[in-house]
Amino acid sequence: VDVTAKGMDIFGKLHSFNAVKDASSSKHFLYDGTRGKGVHTFKANRMPETSFILLSGLLGLTGFEVESNKNFFYDPAAVSAHINASKTFDYFKNIHGRNSLDNNGMKLVSTVHIGDKWNNAAWNGKQMLYGDGDGQRMISLSGGLDVIAHEMTHGVIEKTTNLIYENESGAINESIADIFGAFAENKTGEGLWLLGEDIWTPGIQGDALRSMSDPGSVYIGGYTEDGYYPDHYDKRYLGELDRGGVHINSSINNKAAQLITDGGTHYGVTVNGIGKARTEKIFYRALTLYLTPSSGFAEMRQAAIQAARDLHPDRNGAPSLEVQAVMAAYDAIGVY
């Protein structure tokens, strides 16, 4: 039976959400049967991430049902994961007409409290996994809507283009996940372009895991020449760490997405922005129609231009403002 349940998220905010009451008992489950084939959130009781990922892959282990007291859930990390998975489901449904990750209502399974102070979140090919963070560098990752939408977008990518998760195609994979992570969170102001800001270093304000608008403002140490995330193709990381820099070079394409949206001048190239509503449709169409598993930066440029041209055709032989913005943005990051 679908009931309305309540619970606090990791920031102490109270939410009402759909849950299910077991017909034969008064037990409630964090299962929302109203979105696709369901949004179901579990807990892993700090099972080591290696064994959880192994058992999840081998036996389809998802963890344990989250306890409730009648219809009140008192596991904030689980409530956060449940709320944010529902919000991301709604984003893909309402904005892109996509019914869950596989466009066939696929059940959204999340498991929180994986590992001990695990500073990670991951999509393991079947579900979302969240660590609690160590409390210094990160807090419970399920509290970041952009993190959750990032993980779920890895699921969408797998079910569509399935960009190979290494080197340039891996960087495009990561960038697409950041782009829809940011757009699903849909914050106004600077927060829009920050990733993980809500769950990153609780002791420091204004910083984040990554910045899409100013990648070079985030220090990552010895991975890159100057120790900062790259904001131009000529500054890309060419080593083999991080599977060929998938979380590093993603910042280059992230900058292009931010320029297409907001406009701006980058390395002397000026882009006239076209706003979020048109940019997110261009990237969704590029992902689902034009990218291929081995697509790198050059193919990303062509896919975005083609998607923009489909949605905003040339007029009297001249490219539309949207196509011009895409071309200029990729010029600005040095991808021709």
Ligand X SMILES: Cc1cccc(C(=O)O)c1OC(=O)C1CC1
209 binds ligand X (CB under 6 A): yes
Which of ligand X, Zn ion, none has residue 122 at its interface (CB below 5 to 8 Å by kind)? Answer: ligand X
Binding-residue pattern over the window 163 to 192 for ligand X, x denoting contact by CB under 6 A: -----------x------x-----------
115 binds ligand X (CB under 6 A): no
Q: From the candidates 40, 82, 150, 247, which is the catalytic residue?
A: 247
Q: Which stretch binds ligand X (CB under 6 A): 18-26, 90-98, 146-154, 261-269?
A: 146-154
Which of Zn ion, ligand X, none has residue 112 at its interface (CB below 5 to 8 Å by kind)? Answer: none
Q: Which stretch binds ligand X (CB under 6 A): 3-11, 19-27, 119-127, 325-333?
A: 119-127
Look up tokens 């984003």; give the residue.
91
147 binds ligand X (CB under 6 A): yes
| Cβ neighbours around 251 below 10 Å, total | 32
Which of ligand X, Zn ion, none has residue 269 at its interface (CB below 5 to 8 Å by kind)? Answer: none
CB of 73 closer than 8 Å to CB of 7: yes
**CB of 143 or CB of 181, closer to ligand X:** 181
Q: Which of 95, 122, 218, 321 binds ligand X (CB under 6 A)?
A: 122
Instruction: Evaluate the CA torsion angle 163, 166, 172, 173 in order and state its sign.
Output: positive
Q: Which of 151, 185, 198, 262 binds ligand X (CB under 6 A)?
A: 151
Q: Which of 277, 288, 265 has its CA nearest to residue 322?
A: 277
328 binds ligand X (CB under 6 A): no
CB of 210 closer than 8 Å to CB of 195: yes
Binding footprint of Zn ion on the chain (CB under 5 A): 177
**φ, ψ (nearest 5 deg) of residue 64:** -120, 150
**CB of 19 or CB of 177, closer to Zn ion:** 177
Q: Which stretch binds ligand X (CB under 6 A): 70-78, 85-93, 116-124, 266-274?
A: 116-124
Instruction: Please say if 28 is a catalytic residue.
Output: no
Give the nearest distance from C-beta 250 to ligand X in angstroms: 9
Instruction: Please say if 247 is a catalytic residue.
Output: yes
Q: Which of 66, 83, 121, 192 binds ligand X (CB under 6 A)?
A: 121
**CB of 138 or CB of 271, closer to ligand X:** 138
Annotated active-site positions, please?
Answer: 151, 247
Residues that bind ligand X in the complex, under the rule CB under 6 A: 120-122, 147, 150-151, 174, 181, 195-196, 209
